Structure 1
Amino acid sequence: MDSVKKTALYDEHVLAGGKIIDFAGWALPVQYEGLVEEHEVVRNAAGMFDVSHMGEVEVTGKDAFAFVQNLVTNDVATLEDHQILYGMMCYEHGGVVDDLLVYKFDQEHFYLVINASNVEKDFAWMVEQSKGYDLKLENLSDEVSEIALQGPLAQEILQKISDVDLSTIKFFYCNRNVTIEGVKCLVSRTGYTGEDGFEIYADHEGIVKVWRKLLEVGKDQGLKPAGLGCRDTLRFEAALPLYGHEIDQSITPLEAGLGFFVKLAKDNFIGKDALVEQKAKGLPRKTVGLEMEKGIPRQGYEVLAEGEVIGVITTGYFSPTLKKNIALALVDAKYGEMGSSLSVQVRKKVFPATVISKRFYQKNYKK
């Protein structure tokens, strides 16, 4: 673990008994008390994650809007100041460079939040695509720490130590000037769990103060630190994609079922032509939900129809909330009809699987 990066909260995780693993080159806790316990505390009260490994890129200048609009699949023109949208950066062939959040501070100032495993690749891609635009790109990833406070009690707990009325921060909006425990923070009503919650950005020293104080004031309401293990089960139940699973350079957003975030009516964005063509021809593959009575599906397991391999599991678990074996799978489109009977190769055995809705869990966002 000596060669991996440590977040500003590393010592807090060790003190709290976190089981530290190497995740995308970062020493982060996979769990503290246990995955299921932490999963349930987020669904029922509130949990707090260290997500300081995420990347942040600032875009400023006269052409900032035009550049970001061309960079991502979603329509940045719909954003108000301090509003956020989810989208993807695509290659010309339609595969995904990364998915990201786009924060609009104003027409000449954007803040892009990208995945930890892709920071260097993403930033290099942005620099290449920025040629010809009048703007400044700055990779702030090493300067910014971030925590995610998620769950139905998140607002109530955070409000105790915030100087801003958090009810004024709507879903997928942010406030750049929130003081928490004397620390100036960027706070957004976003998350990756399917629950209401906030993501809090601050400098390294400040984030430690915020983390400690939140655990102190939230203790009586059940707030606990949560690890990467339940972060994955929570996002999966809410059918939220993860780069390297549901999307990557070989999977298009349309195949991943993320067409809502791809605005083909936009004038242009990188990869648009390929995606327009793919939609016109018909998708060769589609992402579906699967349910299994027996056998737990895992990423990489083959999906079969009549003994032939027709797809692969992208994420699969025994769902802590639903108490079922479920999965997301990328399959040949003709086998993706709801109710279709398929099977999954689980090690040396084959178990039946049924195509179901990907809406495994009803999201509880505060609109």
Structure 2
Amino acid sequence: MELKTPLYDAHVKAGGKMVPFAGYILPVQYKAGVIKEHMAVRQEAGLFDVSHMGEILCEGEKALENLQHLLTNDFTNMVDGQARYSPMCNEHGGTVDDLIVYKKADNHYFIVVNAANKDKDFQWMLDHQLPGATFTDVSDQYAQLALQGPKAMEILRRLAPEDKIPTKYYHAVFDGEVGGIPCIISKTGYTGEDGVELYAPADQAEKLWDLLLETGRDDGLIPCGLGARDTLRMEAAMPLYGHEMNDDVTPLETGLNFAVKMKKDDFIGKSAMEEAGAPKIKRVGLKVTGRGIIREDQTVYAEDASAPDGRKEIGHTTSGTHCPFLGEPVGMALIDKEYAEVGTKLIVDVRGRMVEVEIVPLPFYTRAK
């Protein structure tokens, strides 16, 4: 049975089209539709309910040692309030999940994990923890709202004291408040735009939601659903667990090298990645040059005169859709590295129809600073 976030009633009231997702009932879109929601975030501002994400505390004298052991990134040089992205790997180097770690204080870390993986991740941490730290699932205590877009910070400043708003990307203020509601205010997001993610007490979520929408109404702020969240992250080429990575794909294969510190002391999955050597596959961006829209799990081919039908299978798509701001269909794929050069022309099998594509640089979209 699917769960409801603290904002379920607010979504229904706003005309949200509710669907099952990651064990929850969430809005895929509202009356405006995915395209208008997407464009609002690119041009003005959008508000998302991401309360289905999971929150886990890591506390204790050996908290840092535990993070260093469990995760691929290095957390030794973080300052209080700083956030850091990291994959979490299994013994074979595959990806258990990707997550964000916040340092609240020495020996006290706040970890945000993907919704569909919350229980799996928490159990993985418990099963692989070292002595001297405790992990606590506090997901039920929080609602999470994402305020994203060029006008997001302007809207936030009308409700939050300036000294409670983080100034740097991937930093958070833990004792923040928005309209008098206590919040963790984090300068992060999953849209490719400026903005914040707000962690508020679950019982004050609807009050915060209504307050933000009312405050930003004249700026074009509208509620946005899962559909726009996916098209926005696609344009920004942000990987999604279960698509660009999974238990069999290493973070090195999907282009997350920046978050894998092979020079630090041992972490789960390090030896497997060392033994595997340089990755043989690579995540690439695909622009459709033929007719059609590519989706996930479609076979990618390169032309090869020596193959029986003139084509050689070299990988598969991981995500794909028509992107509203770009005005064209794009996708991402994991393919053999030897074919991964920008400009290479390939073919994707879209339900039996061969659609021409070309490798283009990632991300597809970058916001103007």
User: TM-score by structure 1 length?
Assistant: 0.95
> Which residue of structure 1 lines up, in the alignment, with residue 307 of structure 2?
none
1:11 and 1:169 map into 2 onto residues whose CA distance is 33
| Offset of residue 182 of structure 1 | 2.3
> Which residue of structure 1 lines up, in the alignment, with residue 314 of structure 2?
310
1:168 and 1:102 map into 2 onto residues whose CA distance is 16
Secondary structure at the aligned position of 2:56 is classed as: strand
> Which residue of structure 2 lines up, in the alignment, with residue 319 of structure 1?
323
1:145-164 correspondence to structure 2 within 5 Å: 145-164=143-162
| Offset of residue 107 of structure 1 | 2.0
Query: Of residues 339, 343, 347 in structure 2, which corresponds to 1:339?
Result: 343
> Which residue of structure 1 lines up, in the alignment, with residue 278 of structure 2?
282
1:166 and 1:243 map into 2 onto residues whose CA distance is 32
| Offset of residue 359 of structure 1 | 1.9
> Which residue of structure 1 lines up, in the alignment, with residue 210 of structure 2?
212
2:254 and 2:61 map into 1 onto residues whose CA distance is 34
Task: Give ranges in structure 1 of 5+ residues lacking alignment.
Answer: none
Instruction: Note if contact 2:166-2:185 (Cα within 8 Å) is conserved in structure 1.
Output: no
1:1-367 correspondence to structure 2 within 5 Å: 3-32=1-30, 33-130=32-129, 132-165=130-163, 168-278=166-276, 281-293=277-289, 294-306=291-303, 307-363=311-367
User: TM-score by structure 2 length?
Assistant: 0.95
Change (3 A) 1:167 1:109: closer
1:355 and 1:52 map into 2 onto residues whose CA distance is 35
* Greater shift in the superposed pair: 189-198 or 157-166: 157-166
* Greater shift in the superposed pair: 132-141 or 30-39: 132-141
| Offset of residue 275 of structure 1 | 1.8
Change (3 A) 1:53 1:168: closer
Instruction: Note if contact 2:61-2:107 (Cα within 8 Å) is conserved in structure 1.
Output: yes
1:263 and 1:61 map into 2 onto residues whose CA distance is 23
2:128 and 2:167 map into 1 onto residues whose CA distance is 32
Per-residue Cα deviation, 1:3-28 (whole angstroms, up to 9, x for no partner): 21001100100011100000011000
Per-residue Cα deviation, 1:19-52 (whole angstroms, up to 9, x for no partner): 0000011000000121111000001111000000
Secondary structure at the aligned position of 2:268 is classed as: coil
Instruction: Note if contact 1:40-1:321 (Cα within 8 Å) is conserved in structure 2.
Output: yes
Percent identity among equivalent residues? Answer: 46
Instruction: Note if contact 1:69-1:76 (Cα within 8 Å) is conserved in structure 2.
Output: yes
* Greater shift in the superposed pair: 316-325 or 192-201: 316-325
| Offset of residue 135 of structure 1 | 1.3
Instruction: Note if contact 1:195-1:364 (Cα within 8 Å) is conserved in structure 2.
Output: no
Instruction: Note if contact 1:196-1:364 (Cα within 8 Å) is conserved in structure 2.
Output: no
Change (3 A) 1:195 1:44: same
Secondary structure at the aligned position of 2:141 is classed as: coil
Per-residue Cα deviation, 1:223-267 (whole angstroms, up to 9, x for no partner): 000001010111111111100000110111011011111111111
> What count of residue pairs does the alignment treat as equivalent?
360
| Offset of residue 165 of structure 1 | 3.5
2:268 and 2:230 map into 1 onto residues whose CA distance is 29
1:271 and 1:150 map into 2 onto residues whose CA distance is 34
| Offset of residue 164 of structure 1 | 3.8
1:67 and 1:238 map into 2 onto residues whose CA distance is 31
1:58 and 1:168 map into 2 onto residues whose CA distance is 21
Change (3 A) 1:290 1:15: same
2:49 and 2:330 map into 1 onto residues whose CA distance is 27
1:183 and 1:344 map into 2 onto residues whose CA distance is 49
Change (3 A) 1:182 1:167: closer
Instruction: Note if contact 1:68-1:76 (Cα within 8 Å) is conserved in structure 2.
Output: yes
1:325 and 1:184 map into 2 onto residues whose CA distance is 41
* Greater shift in the superposed pair: 164-173 or 51-60: 164-173
Instruction: Note if contact 2:174-2:184 (Cα within 8 Å) is conserved in structure 1.
Output: yes
